[in-house]
Chains A and B, each alone.
Chain A
Amino acid sequence: MRKDIRIAGFGGQGIILAGIVIGKAAALHDNLNAVQTQSYGPEARGGASKTEIVISDELIDYPKVQKPDIFVALSQAGLDAYLHDLKDGGILIIDPDMIKEEELLSFVKEHNTKLYKAPVTRTAVEKIGLKIVANIVMIGAITRMTKVISEEAARQAVAESVPPGTEKKNLEAFEAGAELAG
């Protein structure tokens, strides 16, 4: 079963690392196949940033995402650019602090979208006291909301992808994100 995931926002939000961690969790710890790709402008920060992850129990030929099953939008510009690609019945995760929700409601109704809200930056600041772990909060939220990777695999991939000595804070951030699933 192939699952296509797209995460869009702007440079500096840690989106690409989040994509790598999800891919690593699937490929190395859930023993699935995964491909992670990314696109970004020449700017280091502030430009549009996007990562795509394809996860499958079969070999993955075409590595890019056209119609995602799961779309995570962390900026209004990211949402506007890619919302209409989301499959009918797909999962949409938004950061409500970054996105005007009311404009979404007709799309969600029309396309039978499962909408989840994950205020990842706010959660990172309020629960962990560190804005920088917002992307790990996001991984926690994506993992529990979509179940596209196992939580155990996700925790292992987080722990081995963050700087040594920061594992505990990052795993706390992961749990805080997972709890956003309600």
Chain B
Amino acid sequence: MSEQFFIQGNEACARGAIEAGCRFFAGYPITPSTEIAEDMALFLPKKGGSFIQMEDEIAALGAVIGAVWGGQKGMTATSGPGFSLMQEHIGFAVMTETPLVIVNMQRGSPSTGQPTMASQSDMMQAKWGSHGDYEIIALSPSSVQECFDFTVEAFNLAEKYRVPVMVMSDEIVGHMREKITIPEEVEITYRQMPEEGPETFLPFKAPSDGTSPMPAFGDGYKMHITGLTHDEKGYPDASNPESHSKLVNRLCNKIRKHTDEITRIKEEFTEDAEIIVLSYGAPARSALTAVKNARKQEVKAGFIKLETVWPFPKKLIKDAVVNAQKVMVVEMNLGQIFYEVERVLPDKEVELLPKIGGEMHIPTEIMDKIKDMSH
């Protein structure tokens, strides 16, 4: 039977992880994500899993990578300052194709900023924070139910594409309590195991836009996992331009070529809209309120919410705004996703409604901007 709870977004992330089969969490507590670690410490031992509080966030992600190569599904949770420390291991996880989930409950930044206040200022860091050419997947929940659903989905995508998947939420959603329904069963994806025996199996041999089966340490396969450019056996092959080009193109293409399968947006009133309000995470809720109010005043406004932020849902956005001339991007930073929207809609009038300080946009602020742009 499905069950209903009145819990925080953070708690919903933890429950989603457990339901998705996560049995390892390593982390370092940080406001406003700490309740995720607390809940994982509570639930995991009861499920036969492990929780470790590490000395810092670098070690936390390192431990998750190790657990995943030991055959577990693993997760960590953090906020901006910890996310910065994790960047090195994010690159390592990308290069070694280690499936894992990172929840980032964003707070006011830069640096230690505003621990108990919200922002969306790590959205570009999620995409570009580590060095090198790479692709990751990032989802952005704006409700407690979505915290649960998107965390489950994050694990499924991670396992399918062998890539770090980020749940990019914020303090408002993380600490907000709402009713959620946890279904009796959720659909779960497990990483593919090799069919070939250890004598012939090549752990990094994969189609040019795909990934390979992933045995665990101890399964009897010869495993060599390195952040250096490597060949199909996993051995370093760092001076050969072709090897590097082949590997890094594949790591990018396994996401880029599957953007249509991975990405999702939510649309309301877009069909006849003259102006579209595009948002994600917490302020998407203010944006939808404003759009509904605009409709009541017979202003033809529409609403787009990015559920997937990375890879950027370019095609979905282009299709959704085809009839509108104007697009407003509402985000809790001084302009991040705005530039992506501007890039994919060169023939539209795209404007930013930024907000920092820790509080979400008020619907009337968005309404005022809708009116401004309508003239």
Please list the residues of chain A having a beta carbon within 8 angstroms of any beta carbon in chain B: 20, 23-24, 27-28, 33-42, 60-64, 66
Contact A24 B6 (CB under 8 A): yes
Q: List 27 A-B contacts (CB under 8 A).
A: A20-B177, A23-B6, A24-B6, A24-B177, A27-B6, A27-B178, A27-B179, A28-B5, A28-B179, A33-B178, A34-B6, A34-B179, A35-B178, A37-B175, A37-B177, A42-B115, A60-B178, A61-B285, A61-B286, A62-B289, A62-B362, A62-B363, A63-B172, A63-B178, A64-B359, A64-B362, A66-B362
Bound-state CA distance A33–B286 (Å) is 17
Knowing that A23-B177, A36-B178, A62-B362 touch, tell me 10 more A-B residue pairs with CB under 8 angstroms: A20-B6, A28-B4, A35-B178, A41-B116, A42-B115, A42-B116, A60-B178, A61-B292, A63-B172, A63-B282
B116's contact among A24, A34, A39, A63, by CB below 8 Å, is which? A39
Q: B residues bordering A, Cβ < 8 Å? A: 4-6, 31, 115-116, 172, 175-179, 282, 285-286, 288-289, 292, 359-360, 362-363
> A30: shortest Cβ distance to chain B, in Å?
11
Report the Cα distance A38→B282, complex, angstroms: 14
A-B pairs, 7 with minimum CB distance: A27-B179, A62-B289, A36-B177, A24-B6, A61-B289, A61-B288, A27-B6
Chain A residues in 8 Å Cβ range of B289? 61-62
> Within 8 Å CB of A41, what residues of B?
116
A interface: dominant SS: mixed
A residues near B285, Cβ cutoff 8 Å: 61-63
- Looking at the assembled complex, report how far the CB atom of A155 sits from the nearest CB atom of chain B, in whole angstroms: 16
Smallest CB gap from A38: residue in B: B175
Distance of A14 from chain B, by nearest CB (Å) = 16
B282 to chain A: which residues have CB within 8 Å? 63
Which chain A residue has the least Cβ–Cβ distance from B114?
A: A42
Contact B116 A36 (CB under 8 A): no
Give A41 Cβ to nearest chain B Cβ, in Å.
7
Q: Are A62 and B176 in contact (CB under 8 A)?
A: no
**B177/A35 in contact, CB under 8 A:** yes
Residues of B within 8 A of A37 (CB): 172, 175-177
Q: Which residues of B contact A66 (CB under 8 A)?
A: 362
Please name all residues of chain A whose beta carbon is closer than 8 Å to the beta carbon of B177 when the two chains form the complex: 20, 23-24, 35-37
How long is the Cα–Cα vector from A27 to B176 in the complex, in angstroms? 13
Question: Considering the chains assembled together, what is the distance between the CA atoms of A33 and B176 in angstroms?
Answer: 13
**Interface-central residue, A33, A60, A64, by most chain B CB under 10 Å:** A64
